[in-house]
Structure 1
Amino acid sequence: MLARLSDIDRRAFREGARDYSPTLMAICSWGLVTGIAMSKSVLTLPQALAMSLLCYAGSSQLAVLPLLAAKLPIWTVLLTAAMVNTRFVIFSVGLAPHFSYLSMWRRVLLGYFNGDVIYLLFLKKNFANGYVPGKEAYFWGMAVASWLSWQVASIAGILLASLIPDTWGLALAGTLALLPIMVAAIATRSTLVAVCIAGIVALLAFDLPYRLGLPLAVIAAIIAGSAADLIAERADLRRIRNSAGDSQ
């Protein structure tokens, strides 16, 4: 595949995979946990493998497993999965200016392979909107590394679930491994405000049905971050006006 790419795209692809590599431990931990959970649920082996390959969404997979075990109506399963994945609407809005020139099917494919960490690392590169040589290849470098590591870990969890004790605490290990990435992404005060508000709302709404706490936390974070940006802009504007008035 790399041989068919230009020199710029090959370098960008490798750079994307290299930038994503520090997160592999966390992704593999979560993939393993998800695979074990699917194997120990009501799913058969083929169903668990199909869910891993087709859904590729650890949070929603873990969220719907108890609903499937309880044999709740399918609409509750779909609603819960949709609530957990509402954050990808925000991700899509963020990526749209970068890949709007692509065909619909290529954009759909990008959407399938997108993920929380991929989106975060992609934004940190500060690419210009529209076509930029190597930009799509950089995204694919991260996406391929993420998908392969997730699927290997998830399928290993499905096949080896009986050999892995629950006391290993893999879910906690995955969470702790992701924390440095999240902290590094807090580059502005508005981002810090959004993270704090999201955490508070998520905790307060933890017991809501259908995982409604997650979309509420996302919405609260957007509102809080936007409000913080607006307050900062108004403060800067007042300082500029006061400085202009003093100079006169």
Structure 2
Amino acid sequence: MPMLRLPAAERDGFRAGFRIISPLLPAIFSWGLVTGVAMGKSILTVPQAIGMSLMLYAGSAQLASLPLFAAGMPLWTILLTVGIVNLRFVIFSAALQPHFSYLSLPRRIVLGYVNGDLGFVMFMNQKFASGYVPGKEGTYYGITLSNWAVWHVSSILGILLGALVPDSWGLAFAGTLALIPMMVHTITSRSTMLAVTLASVLGLLAFDLPYRLNLVLGVLGALAAGMVCDELTARQAKRLALANPPTGTHDGAAHEGGQTRPSGERRS
């Protein structure tokens, strides 16, 4: 039986996706390791912590649930907290829908599972057109699967080593510092800068809200700011294009309207 091979465009796209995300993999490893250590030092057993990491695949939600487990909170409270923290993935999925709506439901479920914060940002920065584009799905998987693999390797390693790492090492702060270069790397435009700034301000102002609602507010504010900024930029570019049309167009029109008659042609 011949081995199933992906189209060349998708294989090339996968390699391109890996190259896109590769500069951020060390920081992803650091953050995954910190999250794993926190889970390993919690009341969860090692199998429970590993299972939670594999099923949930969301560092902020995993960390938000740990103090609730330690406090013996009801399961519905923990699930509600995790659901609210992960509401941003509903927004991410809506943004990805125009790109992959043509795929079957099982394939879209896999796409959604491997999606992460950084993977989503790096993929959307590629500015692919909606609908089917050769190599687009491969690029998505090159970005997100690399993120997924590095995260789980580091997270499981942190879970296994959690009991051996003393609190005095301050790994939580080191993990937070590791996120800064990842965020800076994604700022490639004025709209992105505005979105990051607004998300940071909203997250800090709403820090005391329960269930980490400040994260949801930050994501919504960032999306709104980015969309408005992109729309204003597009309108400004359109106005400039109308105010300064290409000179070649007018010259061509004048030439066409003012064609000279052949020398041998006489008026009737």
- Does the alignment reach a TM-score above 0.5? yes
1:80 Cα deviation from its structure 2 partner = 1.2
C-alpha contact (below 8 Å) 2:31/2:178 kept by paired residues:
no
Deviations 1:110-139 (A, max 9, x none): 101001111111112221211111111111
C-alpha contact (below 8 Å) 1:29/1:170 kept by paired residues:
no
Name the SS of the counterpart of 1:5 in structure 2: coil
Task: Give me the whole-angstrom Cα distance separating, in 2, the residues matched to 1:148 and 1:241.
Answer: 48
Name the SS of the counterpart of 1:109 in structure 2: helix
Gaps of 5+ in 2: 246-268
C-alpha contact (below 8 Å) 2:27/2:182 kept by paired residues:
no
Task: Give me the whole-angstrom Cα distance separating, in 2, the residues matched to 1:107 and 1:79.
Answer: 24
Name the SS of the counterpart of 1:128 in structure 2: coil
More helix by share: 1
Structure 1 residues 207 and 132, CA gap change in structure 2 (3 angstroms): same
Task: Give me the whole-angstrom Cα distance separating, in 2, the residues matched to 1:21 and 1:236.
Answer: 33
1:193 Cα deviation from its structure 2 partner = 2.2
Q: Which amino acid aligns with 1:146?
A: N
1:67 Cα deviation from its structure 2 partner = 0.6
**What is aligned with 1:126?**
127
TM-score normalized with structure 1 length: 0.87
1:229 Cα deviation from its structure 2 partner = 4.5
Q: Which amino acid aligns with 2:79?
A: L
C-alpha contact (below 8 Å) 2:31/2:179 kept by paired residues:
no
Gaps of 5+ in 1: none
TM-score normalized with structure 2 length: 0.81
Deviates more, 1:85-94 or 1:59-68: 85-94
Task: Give me the whole-angstrom Cα distance separating, in 1, the residues matched to 2:81 and 2:55.
Answer: 17
RMSD: 2.5
Name the SS of the counterpart of 2:207 in structure 1: coil
C-alpha contact (below 8 Å) 1:55/1:61 kept by paired residues:
yes
Task: Give me the whole-angstrom Cα distance separating, in 2, the residues matched to 1:87 and 1:105.
Answer: 21
**What is aligned with 1:200?**
201
- Are 1:87 and 2:88 an aligned pair? yes
Structure 1 residues 147 and 240, CA gap change in structure 2 (3 angstroms): closer
Query: What is the percentage of aligned positions where both structures have the same residue?
Result: 56
Structure 1 residues 239 and 11, CA gap change in structure 2 (3 angstroms): closer
1:104 Cα deviation from its structure 2 partner = 1.0
**What is aligned with 2:170?**
169
Higher Rg? 2
1:236 Cα deviation from its structure 2 partner = 6.4
**What is aligned with 2:147?**
146
**What is aligned with 2:54?**
53
Q: Which amino acid aligns with 1:86?
A: L
Structure 1 residues 217 and 99, CA gap change in structure 2 (3 angstroms): same
Q: Which amino acid aligns with 1:151?
A: H
C-alpha contact (below 8 Å) 1:198/1:218 kept by paired residues:
yes
Task: Give me the whole-angstrom Cα distance separating, in 2, the residues matched to 1:109 and 1:3.
Answer: 19
Q: Which amino acid aligns with 2:105?
A: M
Task: Give me the whole-angstrom Cα distance separating, in 2, the residues matched to 1:91 and 1:178.
Answer: 20
Deviates more, 1:230-239 or 1:9-18: 230-239
Task: Give me the whole-angstrom Cα distance separating, in 1, the residues matched to 2:236 and 2:148.
Answer: 44
Task: Give me the whole-angstrom Cα distance separating, in 2, the residues matched to 1:126 and 1:190.
Answer: 14
Deviates more, 1:100-109 or 1:164-173: 164-173
**What is aligned with 2:252?**
none
